[in-house]
């Protein structure tokens, strides 16, 4: 939760992945990051 908040102000339409594995939102707070982990934050954008 804290890492995502540091990386994006968006609160909805956000997904997080650690080492190319999506982490469900209900597990964000309990996910422990280690040195070398690759964190990706994806935000949904509406367009046409």
Per-residue pLDDT at 28:
93
User: Shortest CA distance to 1 belongs to which of 21, 19, 23, 46?
Assistant: 23
Instruction: Compute the distance between CA of residue 35 and CA of residue 25 in angstroms, rounded to an integer.
Output: 21
Tens digits of residue pLDDT in 12-40: 899 999 999 999 999 999 999 999 999 99
Of 10 and 23, more confident? 23
- The alpha carbon torsion through 12, 15, 18, 19 (nearest 10 deg) reads -160
């Amino acid at each position: 939760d804290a890492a995502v908040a540091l990386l994006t102000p968006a609160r909805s339409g956000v997904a997080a992945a650690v080492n190319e594995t999506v982490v469900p939102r209900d597990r964000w707070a309990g996910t422990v990051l280690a040195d070398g982990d690759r964190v990706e934050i994806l935000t949904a954008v509406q367009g046409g």
